Amino acid sequence: MDGYADYFNAEQVAQILGVTRKDVFAWREQGIATPALSKLIEQFDRAGLARMAVYALLRDLMGDRTSRPREIVNEQATVVEAALRDLRAEDVLVLRLQGKRASSVTTLPIVSMFRDSIRAVPR
């Protein structure tokens, strides 16, 4: 594909996202991302990594006492999961959020934010 790893164990996900393994396992339990491979060691694909990256960034923006970050990741799963498909691209992830009375657009440059960390993971 683009020369970068396609699958990541919990330790690698934690290193890429700058979180703990405990966070990764908690997010798996919450249904934020499901391992794509589960023989011997559970591994997340890029779509799962993208879901966790977006969830972590939205939690940073909105706080951890709201379920809204998880809801956004689930509502916009198609665009979120495609965000790390091609790590050569410079496209930002654009989330269009709609509330009861207001709407907003949030851009997350997750490719440029995490490309170097993903590069460090062996293929």
Which three-class secondary structure state does DSSP give residue 107? strand
3 state SS of 97: strand
How many separate domains does the chain show? 1
Does some domain include residue 1? no
Count the neighbouring beta carbons within 10 Å of the beta carbon of residue 21.
Answer: 14
In a domain, 29, yes or no: yes
Confidence at residue 90, expressed as pLDDT on a 0 to 100 scale: 87
**Arithmetic mean of pLDDT, 41-57:** 97
Residue type, 8: F
- Residue span of the structural domain in which 35 resides: 7-119
Residue 104 β-bridge partners: 97
2 in a structural domain = no
Q: pLDDT tens across 15-41, in order? A: 999 999 999 999 999 999 999 998 889
**CATH code for position 114:** 1.10.1660
Tokens linked to 123: 């293929």
